């Protein structure tokens, strides 16, 4: 399979198990389309016909194709497959069978001033005829879409903007005023964004999702390309290479990988790449599917002829795949035959990369050929990005430009740690204690669920509908994309030196550029983002480190008394006798696993007063099985007090914390501050105490009083907190309020408002569910609301508003309310979800 170089081919037909977005352009009226939506009659779905728009610009098929291409571009970076269809079969009758789908019905009728409305049963409606209504002299689109002014691109931008806008609501996006729709500081204007409801002149332009909208969609839908990798390499051979093959390992449970994008800039001798299965392979005890990426399409480039790399020459390649992968080998070819020498490469994967002990989200680094020595990772730069960085910009001189050509502003930009990789190592890129780029709670509009009271919409204005959905709006952690640049050095590489024309041995450094998707943290393994579990009380996070307490490993803590420095004078307050003091803490890893040890200094002196001292992190060390290390006065001074202790001596505790059992011993030494006077100067019988006293008098140097004590350090076990013992949630309807009817424009404009209260009488949080209110006349009016979940014992009052014409009193008004209408929540009882109330007319 071949990619379109430099960027993902947005128009290609995709496979995979992500969201399927059906764009349904009926050829005849479809009465199976659901209705109503926001009180707007959305059924039957009218046919889509170019004759209702501007037939002089193109055929119905040309309009459909142009709109579909625009929507595919809008959702190109997400794990979304856009399908154009004219058939009710598989859209409305029957509905799609995909695990995840959304249908946008696009008719060329008018919506009474509305361009589109969402949502009912994973469907939304677009009224393309509303654009035609405004494309008349004096209308909203006068001079923009009127015959002679319009183009098929303008029509496609206008209709596709609404078509892309409506599914956004089903993925937690709000209208303007909600932060998930609004631009960040430094972004272009709000009216350029898809979730805005802008004036007519902006609707005919090519709009896009804002950074925060992109983050929310990435969290809800996932991204198409998982990992993009670029490399600076050199040809270490003394002859020209004319081919390159990179072998990667991919998890056997993953889908078949596809090439998404390929670097085709002037630093590469090739402009495209292909991927092919190559059996299986073993790496670090695990079996993976093996694939070969072969670079193709020779092109002229900066450092040589097309498709050729001269001896000792530097070059650059890059490729993006739809699955995460581990680089296992890089092979240079000559005439299809592997050459003797090849660039060494570090493997990396973000899979399984949350450390429950530390909260770090990290890249797992590996050396495919450890027998050739370690690789050193240095000059690390980590950026958290709101969108995908274009693969052609993933170079040492690249700019922060997205795949659509717009500037990117990182959420975070930081330096990373240097790492030596011998077998495997971790490179932290974020920590769960840090906030992610998007983590908010969406509140429902108080007037949600109904159309405004005064249609039609004036020609000069466009309306924001008050949507009802509420709940958490989360992006991926730490952001939609993470971009890492680093230098990889092979200290003992053999390579051809262009300057001398000879083969030499010495350090060779290359630059790597890695871009991968953020992740959904789920360390407790219940299938729900841990941030939601913590916010809703499903799990606790007593220490605020972003990890559910029941997912943290059992920890072992060791607290060793620590005193270092000199007490030069005998204190008047008896704090510490005069002398020199030193401490050494010895640590032995007695387990079979590496131990990650966090070390802290907890001071008790200073301060001089009777109050708490500072707690200072010293370091995090990794101790291999059977190995030992020490922490002493010199180590603490070097790490924490390079300019000397703040007082003549410091006192407190060295605290060690780890998930691995250790053997810890404290060694304490002390001695006098000054030596005793020379023998004969003073003391009993003319001799200073401590001198030798042979017959005939005192002689010999005075002795210093020295003590040494070895103390085993007690182990404290901090048990893993078990999940709270819960049984189940139990959702009930506790109250239905009195219905209220208003008819602002007469009988046909009546709407009924009613409040009802839901309560979780169980002893566990419920998770999200749908509630439904069914009202007269004849129990024919149905209004559903999304509920983000209820904690044990919690209540929630919800207001629903019927569509226009929904006067419930016929003459009486009966309202029936049901919680968890789709049986999504596993409850203690399933027979108490419904209640009804009748109000006499």
Helix pair 60-74, 152-170: axis angle to 10 deg: 50
Which pTM was predicted? 0.76
**CATH number of the structural domain spanning residue 632:** 2.60.290.11
Q: Which domain holds residue 129?
A: 19-221
In a domain, 412, yes or no: yes
Cβ pair 95, 79 in contact under 8 A:
no
Cβ pair 348, 226 in contact under 8 A:
no
pLDDT band at 465 (very low <50, low <70, confident <90, very high): low
More confident residue, 593 or 674: 593
The average pLDDT across 502-527 equals 92
In a domain, 524, yes or no: no
Together in a domain, 210 and 234? no
What is the share, in percent, of the chain residues with pLDDT greater than 70? Answer: 89
Domain end point (choices 718, 750, 784) = 718
In a domain, 93, yes or no: yes
Q: Is the pLDDT of residue 762 over 70?
A: yes
Q: What phi and psi, each to the nearest 5 degrees, are found at residue 133?
A: -60, -35
In a domain, 591, yes or no: yes
In a domain, 89, yes or no: yes
Per-residue model confidence (pLDDT) at position 776 = 86
Together in a domain, 579 and 637? yes
The average pLDDT across 443-455 equals 54
- Classified as helix, coil or strand, 315 is strand
In a domain, 4, yes or no: no
The average pLDDT across 523-535 equals 85
**CATH number of the structural domain spanning residue 217:** 3.40.390.10
The average pLDDT across 425-437 equals 91
Burial, 9: exposed, middle or buried (Cβ in 10 Å; 0-12, 13-18, 19+)?
middle
Domain end point (choices 687, 718, 749) = 718
What is the share, in percent, of the chain residues with pLDDT greater than 90? Answer: 50
Together in a domain, 258 and 158? no
**Alpha-carbon distance 598 to 590, whole Å?**
17
Query: Which one, of 253, 522, 472, lies nearest residue 361 by Cα?
Result: 522
In a domain, 70, yes or no: yes
Together in a domain, 705 and 773? no
pLDDT of 682-737, one tens digit each?
Answer: 444 444 444 444 444 444 445 567 888 989 999 998 776 665 565 788 999 999 98
Together in a domain, 699 and 799? no
Q: How far is CA 520 from CA 322, 431, 436, 654, 723, in A?
A: 17, 13, 11, 35, 20
Together in a domain, 671 and 685? yes
Q: Is the pLDDT of residue 572 over 80?
A: no
- Classified as helix, coil or strand, 685 is helix
Per-residue model confidence (pLDDT) at position 383 = 97
The average pLDDT across 216-222 equals 90
pLDDT band at 782 (very low <50, low <70, confident <90, very high): confident
Cβ pair 307, 298 in contact under 8 A:
yes
**For residue 320, what are the β-bridge partners?**
228, 261
Together in a domain, 149 and 110? yes
Domains in the chain: how many in total? 4
Together in a domain, 155 and 278? no
Neighbours of 413 (CB within 10 A): 13
Together in a domain, 164 and 31? yes
**DSSP per-residue letters across 94-162:** SPP-SSSEEEEEEESS-BTTBSEEE-SSSEEEEETHHHHHHSSTTSTTTTTTSTTT--HHHHHHHHHHH
Report DSSP state, residue 30: B
Q: How far is CA 476 from CA 145, 235, 416, 439, in A?
A: 39, 38, 20, 9
In a domain, 87, yes or no: yes
Paired sense of beta strands 326-334 and 270-283, if any? unpaired
Per-residue model confidence (pLDDT) at position 512 = 96
Together in a domain, 623 and 484? no
Domain end point (choices 175, 201, 221) = 221
**CATH number of the structural domain spanning residue 765:** 2.60.40.10
**Alpha-carbon distance 330 to 257, whole Å?**
18
Together in a domain, 296 and 152? no
Together in a domain, 181 and 330? no
């Amino acid at each position: 399979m071949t990619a379109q170089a430099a960027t993902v081919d947005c128009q290609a037909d995709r496979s995979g198990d992500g969201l399927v977005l059906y764009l349904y352009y009926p050829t005849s009226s479809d009465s199976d389309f659901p209705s109503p939506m926001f009180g707007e009659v959305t059924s039957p779905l009218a046919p889509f016909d170019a004759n209702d728009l501007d037939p002089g610009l193109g055929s119905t098929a040309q309009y459909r194709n142009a709109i579909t291409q625009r929507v595919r571009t809008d959702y190109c970076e997400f794990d979304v497959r856009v399908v154009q269809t004219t058939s009710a079969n598989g859209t409305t009758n029957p509905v799609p069978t995909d695990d995840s789908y959304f249908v946008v019905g696009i008719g060329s009728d008018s919506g009474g001033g509305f361009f589109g409305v969402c949502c009912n049963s994973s469907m939304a409606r677009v009224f393309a005829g509303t654009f035609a209504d405004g494309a008349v002299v004096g209308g909203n689109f006068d001079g923009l879409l009127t015959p002679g002014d319009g183009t098929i691109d303008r029509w496609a931008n206008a209709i596709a903007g609404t078509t892309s806008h409506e599914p956004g609501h089903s993925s937690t996006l709000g209208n303007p005023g909600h932060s998930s729709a609004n631009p960040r500081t430094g972004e272009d204007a709000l009216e350029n964004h898809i979730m805005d409801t802008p004036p007519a002149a902006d609707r005919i332009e090519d709009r896009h999702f804002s950074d925060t909208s992109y983050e929310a969609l990435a969290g809800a839908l996932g991204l198409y390309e998982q990992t993009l990798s670029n490399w600076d390499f050199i040809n270490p051979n003394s002859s020209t290479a004319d081919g390159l093959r990179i072998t990667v390992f991919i998890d056997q449970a993953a889908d078949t990988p596809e090439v998404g994008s390929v670097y085709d800039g002037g630093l590469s001798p090739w402009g495209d790449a292909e991927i092919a299965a190559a059996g299986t392979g073993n790496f670090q005890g695990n079996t993976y599917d093996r694939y070969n990426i072969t670079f193709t399409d020779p092109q002229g480039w900066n450092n040589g002829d097309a498709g050729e790399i001269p001896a000792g020459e530097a070059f650059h390649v890059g490729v993006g795949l739809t699955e995460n992968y581990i680089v296992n080998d890089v092979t240079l070819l000559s005439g299809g035959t592997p050459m003797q020498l090849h660039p060494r490469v570090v493997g990396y994967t973000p899979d399984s990369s949350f450390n429950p002990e530390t909260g770090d989200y990290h890249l797992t680094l590996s050396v495919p050929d450890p027998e050739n020595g370690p690789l050193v990772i240095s000059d690390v730069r980590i950026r958290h990005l709101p969108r995908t960085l274009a693969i052609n910009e993933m170079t040492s001189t690249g700019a922060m430009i997205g795949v659509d050509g717009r500037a990117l502003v990182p959420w975070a930009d930081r330096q990373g740690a240097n790492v030596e990789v011998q077998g495997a190592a971790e490179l932290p890129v974020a920590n769960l204690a840090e906030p992610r780029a998007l983590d908010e709670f969406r509140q429902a509009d108080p007037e949600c669920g109904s159309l405004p009271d005064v249609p039609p919409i004036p020609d000069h204005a466009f309306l924001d509908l008050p949507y009802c959905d509420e709940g958490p709006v989360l992006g991926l952690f730490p952001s939609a994309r993470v971009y890492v640049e680093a230098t990889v050095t092979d200290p003992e590489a053999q390579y051809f030196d262009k300057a001398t024309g000879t083969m030499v041995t010495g350090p060779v450094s290359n630059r790597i550029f890695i871009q991968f998707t953020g992740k959904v943290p789920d360390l407790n393994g219940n299938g729900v983002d841990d941030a939601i579990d913590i916010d809703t009380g499903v799990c606790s996070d007593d220490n605020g480190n972003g990890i559910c307490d029941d997912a943290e490993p059992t920890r072992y803590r060791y607290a060793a008394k620590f005193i270092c420095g000199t007490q030069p004078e005998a204190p008047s307050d008896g704090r510490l006798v005069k002398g020199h003091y030193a401490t050494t803490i010895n640590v032995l890893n007695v387990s079979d696993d590496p131990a990650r040890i966090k070390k802290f200094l907890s001071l008790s002196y200073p301060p001089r007063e009777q109050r708490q001292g500072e707690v200072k992190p010293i370091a995090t060390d990794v101790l291999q099985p059977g190995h030992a290390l020490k922490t002493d006065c010199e180590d603490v001074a070097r790490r924490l007090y390079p300019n000397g202790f703040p007082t003549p001596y410091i006192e407190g505790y060295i605290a060690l914390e780890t998930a691995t059992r250790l053997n810890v011993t404290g060694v304490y030494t002390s001695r006098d501050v000054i030596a005793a006077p020379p023998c004969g100067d003073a003391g009993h019988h003319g001799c200073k105490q401590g001198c030798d006293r042979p017959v005939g008098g005192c002689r010999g140097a005075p002795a210093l009083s020295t003590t040494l004590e070895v103390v085993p350090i007690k182990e404290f076990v901090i048990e893993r907190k078990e999940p709270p013992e819960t049984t189940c949630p139990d959702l009930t309807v506790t109250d239905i309020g009195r219905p209220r009817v208003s008819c602002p424009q007469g009988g046909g404009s009546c709407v009924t408002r009613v409040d009802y209260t839901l309560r979780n009488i169980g002893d566990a949080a419920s998770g999200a569910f749908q509630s439904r209110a069914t009202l007269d006349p004849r129990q024919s009016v149905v209004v559903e609301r999304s509920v983000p979940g209820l904690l044990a014992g919690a209540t929630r009052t919800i207001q629903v508003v019927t569509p226009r014409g929904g006067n419930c009193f016929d003459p009486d008004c009966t309202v029936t309310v049901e919680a968890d209408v789709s049986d999504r929540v596993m409850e203690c009882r399933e027979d108490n979800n419904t209640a009804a109330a009748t109000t006499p007319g």
